[in-house]
């Protein structure tokens, strides 16, 4: 029987990574100028050179002069914090109390949570991000709402109810046992449904009791394939506080290690204030770090040492951490990552930056077998980007003498204005102010 899936061929400058450029250098880069990206239904069916035309069965989409890239993956971002992005004047602990917790408390209203979750997913896509690991709030309705939107769109989304049973406003505080019951119920409802994955989400060591962290560890062992996301050693006052709360632990990371939270599906955001033993423990457990440069700069948290982290063998992805980060656009995150490394005498080339928001990010989520690249059989999550959105971008990109120079300049200067089209699981998602025009359910105000 013939496969009835639609056949679509997208023509443009195709760019993806076939491996890790930190390991294989330029050999990891696939650039096919004026090539064809073939999509059969929801999956990538192949990449053709310019001189190899698809046969007439393939419906053609002409994006000549545009870049076709895998959809970006954001491994650390907070859905409710669109309400507090760009809030003035504070470091982490004060920022949480003053701006973030009040915004998160509003998700107690399920209608608000639903509207906000839809707005958030729409904004992710409108910035070229087609897969994300997301912090919602402690409220179940918000978790349901995020996963519902993801299922409607066939989008890969990893999330889970935020857990915090101390040191937070009453309106956000868990009962430890109820939180565990909720997590189990939500794992059973959502993990593995569509392209959704569940992440146990203790906010950070300061807002979870040792008992709550232990309960997370037990759930992580009990449920195959479930992820863990949390914050780690972001800010010096936070690190001091955690040391005072857990005097027996060797380090901040050790608090999590003792609870059994390290492992190949664990993503730790920030990881700035670590020592060599911490990095070795992360590497040995297969845990990954979500480097969040925009957030680290905005909150004045510190400079993440990528060189030492990578040398220890810890996988690193670049994340937005909105709303402490100030843009959902992963190109902006990558450009900020370059600057954070430059302040330490380190360099981030365009290929490693791109890897850390595509294939490498998928790796930290254990989805790289079929996400973050254009290998045949991968999910057809991809975006079409204009090489330039204004005269200055055009001028700079045209002057480039090498592919790396061109892509680096583009990465550094481009933003959501350059985004021309977004495809999730092979389907084009309508963008624009009223977003998702094809699906009124998603047209949140
Ligand atoms: N640490 C604990 N919660 C948060 C949060 O919401 N954002 C950031 N950047 N760090 C945190
Ligand atoms: Zn965060």
What does the pLDDT look like over 400-416, one tens digit per residue? 999 999 999 999 999 99
Q: Which ligand is nearest to the CA of 103?
A: 1
* C-beta 295 within 6 A of ligand 1: yes
The domain made up of 72-364 has a fold known as TIM Barrel (3.20.20)
Closest ligand 1 atom to residue 206 Cα is 2
* Interstrand relation of 196-202 and 227-232 (parallel, antiparallel or unpaired): parallel
Nearest CA to ligand 1 atom 9: 324
Nearest CA to ligand 1 atom 7: 324
Kindly report the backbone phi and psi dihedral angles of residue 245, in degrees, each rounded to the nearest multiple of 5, phi listed first: -75, -30
Q: What is the mean pLDDT of the chain?
A: 96
H-helix segments, 130-209: 140-153, 176-190
Kindly report the backbone phi and psi dihedral angles of residue 138, in degrees, each rounded to the nearest multiple of 5, phi listed first: -75, -5
* C-beta 99 within 6 A of ligand 1: no
* C-beta 96 within 6 A of ligand 1: yes
How many percent of the chain have pLDDT more than 90? 95
What is the mean pLDDT of the segment spanning 42-51? 97
Query: How far is residue 142 CA from its own chain's centroid?
Result: 18
pLDDT reported for residue 186:
98
389 pLDDT higher than 50: yes
* DSSP helix/strand/coil, 351: helix
What is the mean pLDDT of the segment spanning 377-396? 98
276 pLDDT higher than 60: yes
* C-beta 76 within 6 A of ligand 1: no
Q: Residues 316, 361: contact at Cβ < 8 Å?
A: no
* C-beta 78 within 6 A of ligand 1: yes
Domain ranges of the chain: 7-71+375-429, 72-364
Residue to mutate, 134, 136, 163, 204, ligand 1, most ligand atoms under 8 Å from C-beta: 204
What is the mean pLDDT of the segment spanning 270-275? 98
437 pLDDT higher than 90: no
pLDDT bracket for residue 439 (50, 70, 90) = very low
Q: Which ligand is nearest to the CA of 301?
A: 1
What is the mean pLDDT of the segment spanning 289-313? 98
What is the mean pLDDT of the segment spanning 45-62? 96
Angle at 384 between CA 380 and CA 386, to 5 degrees: 165
pLDDT bracket for residue 212 (50, 70, 90) = very high
pLDDT reported for residue 431:
79
Instruction: For residue 231, report the distance from its CA to the centre of ligand 1, in Å.
Output: 7
User: What CA–CA distance (Å, rounded) separates 33 from 17?
Assistant: 14
Closest ligand 1 atom to residue 324 Cα is 9
Name 383's bridge partners. 69, 422
Residue to mutate, 76, 77, 78, ligand 1, most ligand atoms under 8 Å from C-beta: 78
What is the mean pLDDT of the segment spanning 426-444? 60
pLDDT bracket for residue 162 (50, 70, 90) = very high
What does the pLDDT look like over 362-379, one tens digit per residue? 999 999 999 999 999 999
Instruction: For residue 49, report the distance from its CA to the centre of ligand 2, in Å.
Output: 41
194 pLDDT higher than 90: yes
Q: Which residue has the tokens 């595509």?
A: 358
Instruction: For residue 273, report the distance from its CA to the centre of ligand 1, in Å.
Output: 15
Residue to mutate, 81, 96, 242, ligand 1, most ligand atoms under 8 Å from C-beta: 96
Which comes out higher in pLDDT, residue 275 or 439?
275
156 pLDDT higher than 70: yes
Tell me how crowded residue 65 is: count the other CB atoms within 10 A of its CB: 12
Query: pTM (2 decimals)?
Result: 0.97
308 pLDDT higher than 70: yes
pLDDT reported for residue 434:
44
What is the mean pLDDT of the segment spanning 43-68? 97
227 pLDDT higher than 50: yes
435, two tokens: 């977003």
User: What CA–CA distance (Å, rounded) separates 190 from 201?
Assistant: 14
1 pLDDT higher than 90: no
441 pLDDT higher than 70: no
The answer regarding whether domain 7-71+375-429 maps to CATH 2.30.40.10 reads yes
List CB contacts of 399: < 8 A, sequence separation 6 or more: none
pLDDT reported for residue 432:
62
* C-beta 203 within 6 A of ligand 1: yes
* C-beta 104 within 6 A of ligand 1: no
What is the mean pLDDT of the segment spanning 105-131? 97
Nearest CA to ligand 1 atom 5: 96
What does the pLDDT look like over 310-344, one tens digit per residue? 999 999 999 999 999 999 999 999 999 999 999 99
pLDDT bracket for residue 443 (50, 70, 90) = very low
């Amino acid at each position: 029987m013939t496969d009835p899936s639609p056949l679509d061929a997208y023509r443009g400058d195709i760019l993806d990574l076939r491996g890790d450029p930190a390991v294989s250098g330029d050999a990891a880069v696939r650039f096919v100028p004026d090539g064809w990206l073939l999509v059969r239904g929801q999956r990538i069916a192949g990449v053709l050179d310019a001189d190899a035309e698809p046969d007439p069965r393939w419906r053609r989409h002409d994006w000549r002069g545009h870049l076709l890239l895998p959809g970006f993956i954001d491994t650390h971002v907070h859905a409710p914090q669109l309400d507090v992005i760009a809030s003035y004047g504070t470091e982490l602990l004060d920022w949480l109390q003053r701006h973030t917790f009040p915004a998160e408390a509003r998700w107690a209203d399920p209608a608000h949570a639903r509207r906000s979750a839809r707005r958030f997913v729409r904004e992710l896509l409108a910035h070229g991000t087609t897969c994300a690991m997301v912090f919602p709030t402690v409220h179940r309705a918000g978790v349901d709402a995020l996963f519902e939107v993801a299922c409607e769109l066939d989008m890969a989304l990893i999330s889970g109810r935020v857990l915090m049973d101390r040191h937070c406003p009453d309106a956000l505080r868990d009962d430890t046992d109820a939180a565990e019951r909720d997590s189990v119920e939500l794992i059973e409802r959502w993990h593995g449904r569509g392209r959704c994955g569940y992440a146990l989400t203790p906010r950070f060591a300061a807002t979870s009791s040792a008992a709550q962290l232990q309960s997370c560890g037990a759930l992580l062992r009990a449920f195959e394939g479930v992820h863990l996301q949390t914050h780690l050693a972001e800010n010096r006052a936070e690190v001091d506080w955690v040391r005072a709360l857990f005097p027996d632990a060797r380090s901040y990371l050790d608090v999590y290690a003792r609870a059994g939270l390290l492992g190949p599906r664990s993503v730790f955001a920030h990881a700035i204030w670590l020592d060599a033993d911490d990095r070795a423990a992360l590497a040995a457990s297969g845990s990954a770090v979500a480097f969040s440069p925009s957030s680290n700069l905005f909150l004045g948290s510190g400079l993440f040492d990528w060189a030492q982290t990578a040398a220890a063998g810890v996988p690193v992805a670049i994340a937005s951490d909105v709303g402490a980060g100030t843009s959902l656009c992963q190109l902006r995150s990558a450009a900020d990552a370059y600057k954070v490394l430059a302040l330490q005498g380190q360099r981030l080339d365009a290929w490693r930056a791109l890897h850390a928001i595509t294939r490498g990010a998928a790796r930290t989520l254990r989805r790289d077998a079929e996400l973050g690249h254009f290998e045949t059989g991968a999910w057809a999550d991809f975006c079409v980007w204009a090489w330039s959105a204004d005269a200055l971008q055009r001028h700079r990109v045209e002057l480039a003498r090498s592919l790396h120079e061109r892509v680096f300049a583009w990465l550094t200067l481009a933003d959501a204005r350059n985004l021309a089209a977004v495809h999730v699981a092979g389907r084009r998602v309508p963008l624009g102010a009223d977003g998702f025009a094809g699906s009124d359910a998603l047209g949140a105000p």
